[in-house]
Structure 1
Amino acid sequence: MRSLLLTAFSLVFLLSCHTVQLNKATGKWIPLFNGTDIKDWIVKIHHYECGENFGNTFRVEDGIIKVRYDQYGPFNDRFGHLYYKVPFSYYHLKFEYRFVGELQQGAPGYTLLNSGVMFHSQDPRTMPKEQDWPISIEMQLLGGLGDGKPRTTGNMCSPGTNIVYKGVFDERHCIDSSSKTYDGDQWVQGELIVLGDSLITHKINGETVMQYSKPQIGGDVVNRYDPKIKIDGTALKSGFIALQSEGQPVDFRNVEIMVLPPKK
């Protein structure tokens, strides 16, 4: 027992030191993805324990985080997320993404050319094995379907959460942004500017496409969570950042963050 306690203490201490180092780097761009491996990230996939990267879902090749399902067979609702190891509160996040390949057999139709970046998320280590989505806010990423119809990206979705949008408390699960439609496998740049539980801004290819405020725990969509974690009405002032897998192959690269000074 003593050795377990020491191990737990060591982990907390190391994470705390890493957080302090990042906070000291306020105003500087820091890579979250080193281009080589995902040792600084935590995997949590529905139906599996935290840390189990079933089917090598999240892998690094050619300096890219690749989300793949070639070892799956039927998808079986194996919704997954790759979390950076420490939480953030005030920051500017940049990343690039592109959709590739075909939707995995058995994945829900709505996940076609669909992924996302979760933020202000609960710690993945607090998620039971059968919890499907993290309590979090999502910057939803969508690709055009090539049918000439608009399909915005950089939208807002809210698993187990709510926001204030255009000054009104809004319980909709997803709200469309004002972005353009991006077809094919082109790289698209996303940005998140997060100011604690205050203003949140989504940007796509340098253009602001959505803003909202006061993220908080509430609402549904999340299932089989630990009720001690989901306290509705709790303001979301900080949390983990995660890259999503939900049946569509997708690539991520150039994931970097600038820690911003907290609001006084």
Structure 2
Amino acid sequence: MTLKQFLTLACLSLIIFNCKNKVSNDTIAIEKEWINLFNGENLDGWTPKFYKEDTGVNYLNTFRVSNGVIQVNYDDYTSFDERYGHLFYNALFSSYHLKFKYQFTNQWMEDAPHFTYRNSGIMFHTQDPKTILKNQNWPISVEYQILAEANKNEPRPTGNMCSPGTDIVIDNKISDSHCVRSSSKTYKWDEWVHGELIVYKDSLVQHFVNGNKVLEYSKPQIGGDILIRDFDSAIKIDGKLLKEGYIGLQAEGQGINFKDLKIKVLD
């Protein structure tokens, strides 16, 4: 090998090495954009709010951590008593990509409303949990509704939208339905399902189930009185577009597990 050939080979090796390093560093940077919302060990960074309780009270230890998952667990209950609960992450988000996995358990409080069976949700663009009044039954929010099969061979899609104290625009008009069905298939109650939510402030919202887009709508805003009662009228300003809010896990009488909760903030 001549000196010229050696130098050429050395230069090419250096270029390849630098390119590999750049790809590796970029990959690391991309991975670092994801923020883990749950540390897998405890509920640090989360705040519960239950109907009939002050903000911060984890009624009968409903929200708990076991084996690296956040559980909605009713072991300590004798009756449900309308104790609708939500567990809020202590940060405000505006535009973001949220990922999570969920799995229902075979635990359901039979005195809870029938529609809560194998039913839960991720609340987003919610009001500050500190502004939810003690006797307010539900947060003003938009919901990524989670469902599983209730009756064999009966379609029951997941990744739907529900709107407690809010409205959304779909097909260029405000939806007249409290809940809008997605195009997802029906899943068994004990399956781990991968959910995703992409939100761009008060413009576009997209729901995903196991990697497939199943629903899209726009202009989330405060409106309507469905489900909501005993709220602070100074907070509920109908027609106000929701550009940001908190994220909450739902507890409404049905046991469920959540894990791998992470978020990427978008421009």
2:233 is the counterpart of 1:260 = no
Q: Distance in 2 between matches of 1:147 and 1:104?
A: 21
CA deviations 1:2-45 (Å, max 9, x no partner) are xxxxxxxxxxxxxxxxxxxxxxx998111000101111001001
1:179 maps to which of 184, 204, 211: 184
Partner of 2:205: 200
Q: Number of residue pairs matched? A: 238
The equivalences for 1:98-117 within 5 A come to 98-117=103-122
1:170 Cα shift? 1.2
Q: Distance in 1 between matches of 2:43 and 2:266?
A: 24
Q: Distance in 2 between matches of 1:247 and 1:169?
A: 30
Q: Distance in 1 between matches of 2:129 and 2:77?
A: 22
Q: Which amino acid aligns with 1:50?
A: T
Q: Distance in 2 between matches of 1:62 and 1:188?
A: 18
Q: Runs in 1 of length 4+ with deviation above 2 angstroms? A: none
Contact 2:74 2:107 (8 Å CA) reproduced = no
1:52 maps to which of 49, 53, 57: 57
Q: Distance in 1 between matches of 2:179 and 2:163?
A: 6
Q: Distance in 2 between matches of 1:145 and 1:73?
A: 23
2:175 is the counterpart of 1:170 = yes
CA RMSD, aligned part only?
Answer: 1.4
1:227 maps to which of 227, 233, 247: 233
SS in 2 for 1:249: strand
CA deviations 1:150-194 (Å, max 9, x no partner) are 001000000000010121111311010000000130100000000
Q: Percent identity?
A: 51
Partner of 2:48: 43
SS in 2 for 1:100: strand
Q: Distance in 2 between matches of 1:180 and 1:27?
A: 32
Partner of 2:243: 237
SS in 1 for 2:77: coil
Q: Distance in 1 between matches of 2:31 and 2:194?
A: 22
2:146 is the counterpart of 1:141 = yes
**TM-score, normalised on structure 2?**
0.87
2:215 maps to which of 210, 218, 235: 210
Contact 1:146 1:184 (8 Å CA) reproduced = no
1:146 Cα shift? 4.1
Q: Distance in 1 between matches of 2:164 and 2:229?
A: 9
Q: Distance in 1 between matches of 2:32 and 2:178?
A: 33
The equivalences for 1:7-86 within 5 A come to 28-86=33-91
1:74 Cα shift? 0.9
SS in 2 for 1:191: strand
Partner of 1:13: none
Partner of 1:247: 253
Q: Distance in 2 between matches of 1:161 and 1:151?
A: 23
More divergent stretch after superposition (131-140 vs 143-152)? 143-152
Q: Which amino acid aligns with 2:93?
A: F
Gaps of 5+ in 1: 1-24
Q: Which amino acid aligns with 1:253?
A: K
